[in-house]
Structure 1
Amino acid sequence: MTLDEILQGRDPDRLSELSREDLHRLFWMYKGLVKRVERDTAYWQATNDNLRTAYERLDEQERELARAYQTIRQDLEIAQQVQHALLPKDHPEMLARFEFSVYHKQMTEVGGDYYDFYRLRDGSHAIGVFDISGHGVSAALIMAYLKAQLVQTMEQVSRPRDIVEYLNNATVGFLREVRRYATVNFVAFGERTFRYVCGGGYGVLVRGGEVHTFNKGDPFIGLRRRAYSEYELPFETGDVLALYTDGMVEAQDSAGADYSTRRLHELVRANAELPANQILQRCLDDYGQFRRVDADDITLIVLRRRAA
């Protein structure tokens, strides 16, 4: 009986029948198996040690990421509080003259849409609506920068065109350096009219059932130095004015169609007899049913002139 026959038959009781030569073969086969087992054991032990070290490093990195994420969350919460504080609060003088309602929503914790109410040097009231390019913290920082620049601008000039030109000239170098720009809608109210400057912003006036859209042909703030145009429209008791950024009208439905300025303007016109807050809510309800998901910051302001 040979060693190969015994191994094939798997009968260890017949090992005594092996020749001396086969016993030697069996011995060295066993030694080879022992070495292979030792080598494999050492390999897997080293692999396990490496994996253990890797998992320990991953755990430490996960803890570091968790700490970093917590820090970022805290910073974003503070930034959100700061940006919220920069937005206008109740404006009694504006409320005495206008009925208005505002919807303002940032896509993330902070964003680039910004609006504010102003009292100009000549005593008139004004509203500014801005949309800074980009999203998140960078856009929010630009927004804070523009707000600070506007405060200085108001001390120098009072006409809407002069205000926007002064602001653009003061900020264009910085904005081009950081590759950002901002749309602008600046509206100053007179006794029976308003004057506006529109650089890429959106505005619509509903008066006597007719829709008058803003002329938005002027450049965005931060693109280049040039003169801005100023326009005047009548704005009397009962007239409705809506100012907004592109976040709503460029939102899409599940088929990829835009919400559109035409749809929003028609809603404002169709509901122009309602109070300002109800007009705004009708617009938001319609938008909510239409859009698939918010893709940008949204600002919508609806105003109606009160009776003198």
Structure 2
Amino acid sequence: MKKQNQKDRQQHDRRLLDLQSLFELSKTLNSSLQQDVILDTLLFTPMGRMMIGRGAVLLNEDAKTCRIAAAKGLPQGVREHALLIEERFDAPAPMPAESDSPGLTFLYRHGLRLLCPIHSNKRQIGYLVLGEKITGAPFSPDELQYLEALANLASSSLENSRILAELRDVNRRLDKKIQQLNTLFEITRELNSTLDRDKIATTLSYAVMGEMMIRQLALAVREDEGRGELLTSKGFGRNSDFSFIDSETFWCLLDAAPQPTPVESLADDALRTTLSSMKVRLLVPLLNQEKVLACMIVGDRLSGTAFHDDDLELLATLGNSALVALENARLFRETLEKQRLEEELAIARDIQQRLLPAEPPDISGFDFSGLNIPHAQVGGDYYDFIRVNEKELVLTIGDVSGKGVPASLLMANLQASLHAMVHAKWPLTETVFRINNIIHANTSIDKFITFFLASLNVETRELTYVNAGHNPPMLFHKDGKMTELQEGGLILGMMSDVPYEQGTIPLQNGDLLVLFTDGVTEATNPAGEEFTEQGVIDVILRSGVSTAREAVERLRDAVIEFSGDAPRTDDITILTLLVT
């Protein structure tokens, strides 16, 4: 009896250690969205704990094909190998020595003897496969149970990393689209003789060469950080090396002597030798407000005669006149760049508007409407209707901190995340939990989102919702009472792994649900007073609206009338649902 008690205590201690180990591993797995880190943790932990010499992690590519995503103790080139495994496994099982599946045969041939499936939401996503222990001992039931628990812990982290990879792929494709837009709207440099700097440079070259009978001439302009750009080169050989214009030394030398300088008088021996070998005879710095911004590089004269003072003065005058034209061209380019940015913002606004619903859903017994008025060309407010199936409709509203392009990009990220997850059949709390972790992992601490997500069952007329720090939507009842929908949790992006709660409320005929962003309640009048939540309540109660659209328009008009001439500082978004 005493020995049995001791044995039970030992077994209890081992289980306790296993639980402690799994708890620590859970924190490690959940702290990372990098797939390589998760895979290494999943593989190396049991190998080290159970003294196993080889192992691998397989991830499903489709129903029957896996790839080796991580491996240890296996030959080079095995990783990323695709394997066909037709059998299904629900629990850790010995690797069959003979199998009709080429994948299992391959694994057995490479010394792998135990196969542990990885499941996520009752769906198999891969396997943890291990070789024999170095000691040769078999796997105990406790060890098999530990491996199964470890695989289950890793499954959610692997799924999260997959979703993150998909979102990054969406962002990469979005970046590619923006690059294509930039290419479509690139401004041509062929404008006219006074605004096209290449034409200015060419005109100057031919004018100087013709007027002064010069064999060779080049024009370089000064760029940032001491670098230069060669605008034109006439008469020089193809192999001429103008790399010296990218030297800070070259431009500093011109700053020190900002007047036409014969090459033979240069103090820099290396530069003098280089220019002499190219048959350059003169450097003519071009100044604007006493700063050297360009340089004419002048070769021999056809006559072989030297440059006199009046020649140098003419060169400097012509060059500086061209520099004024080049500066005008630069200013014109900057103006065009501003226009291009404005056009791109207009395109971005059009793209963002396309992310919002084109029209409300048409569902018997319900009337929907929505409105978004951005403060700038693009904004950070978001609302949506997503039809999940015949009996479920998801509706949402959100407000990204900040304004303009950064807020609009985060809004697009939110929209992509929601659309990627809404059909996963997760509880709303799980969806919001995952979106929060993605936003937190990919934004700075000063970026956050207030967010409200609801699922409407059109058959039972029940609304289930999660409010992540958003202005509480107001549910107005036919008897004049009003309920605020507050169940939920913290705003998105502030902290990771934040739990959320959900609420459920039945809807009755005549109920009107009004959702809005703080651009409505915080709209100010010329006296600096805010519209407030009470303003929303007053408008709805006295309106007696008969359609969802009418409710949106009444509230919009009331906010605009209240603001008067006061400048609007935030986006305005309103979404309504009327039960008919």
1:209 has 2:480 as partner: yes
Contact 2:346 2:377 in 1 (8 A): yes
Pairing partner for 1:173 from 441, 465, 477: 441
- In the other structure, the counterpart of 2:493 is 222
Pairing partner for 1:267 from 539, 547, 550: 539
Letter in 2 for 1:300: I
Pairing partner for 2:344 from 75, 99, 103: 75
Specify which structure has the higher proportion of helix: 1
Cα gap change, 1:90 to 1:254, in 2 (>3 Å): closer
Report the secondary structure of 1:237's partner residue: coil
Report the secondary structure of 2:349's partner residue: helix
With normalisation by structure 1, the TM-score equals 0.76
- List runs of 5+ in structure 2 lacking aligned partners: 1-288, 291-316
Instruction: Provide the C-alpha distance between the structure 2 equivalents of 1:121 and 1:161, rounded to a whole number of angstroms.
Output: 19
Contact 2:377 2:404 in 1 (8 A): yes
Which digits, 9 at most, give the CA deviation of each residue in 1:135-168, with x for residues without a partner? 1111111111111111222243342222211211
Contact 2:467 2:488 in 1 (8 A): yes
Report the secondary structure of 1:157's partner residue: coil
Pairing partner for 2:574 from 287, 290, 300: 300
The residue correspondences of 1:85-164 to structure 2 (distance < 5 A) are 85-92=354-361, 94-120=362-388, 123-164=391-432
Instruction: Provide the C-alpha distance between the structure 2 equivalents of 1:101 and 1:122, rounded to a whole number of angstroms.
Output: 19
Which digits, 9 at most, give the CA deviation of each residue in 1:244-266, with x for residues without a partner? 11011101111111110111122
Report the secondary structure of 1:108's partner residue: coil
State the 1:109 CA deviation: 1.2
1:287 has 2:550 as partner: no
Report the secondary structure of 1:299's partner residue: strand
State the 1:119 CA deviation: 2.7
Contact 2:487 2:503 in 1 (8 A): no
Which digits, 9 at most, give the CA deviation of each residue in 1:209-253, with x for residues without a partner? 101122166211111131111112221221000001101110111
Contact 1:211 1:269 in 2 (8 A): no
Instruction: Provide the C-alpha distance between the structure 2 equivalents of 1:114 and 1:150, rounded to a whole number of angstroms.
Output: 11
Instruction: Provide the C-alpha distance between the structure 1 equivalents of 2:547 and 2:333, rounded to a whole number of angstroms.
Output: 53
Query: Which stretches of structure 1, 4 residues or more, deviate above 6 A after TM superposition?
Result: 51-54
Report the secondary structure of 2:444's partner residue: helix
Contact 1:128 1:184 in 2 (8 A): yes
- List runs of 5+ in structure 1 lacking aligned partners: 1-45
Larger RCO of the pair (alpha carbons < 8 Å, separation 6+): 1
Cα gap change, 1:278 to 1:121, in 2 (>3 Å): closer
State the 1:122 CA deviation: 8.7
Contact 2:399 2:449 in 1 (8 A): yes
Aligned residues: CA RMSD: 2.5
- In the other structure, the counterpart of 2:180 is none
Count of aligned pairs between the two proteins? 258
Instruction: Provide the C-alpha distance between the structure 2 equivalents of 1:216 and 1:265, rounded to a whole number of angstroms.
Output: 20
Question: Which is further off, 290-299 or 264-273?
Answer: 264-273
Sequence identity, in percent?
Answer: 26
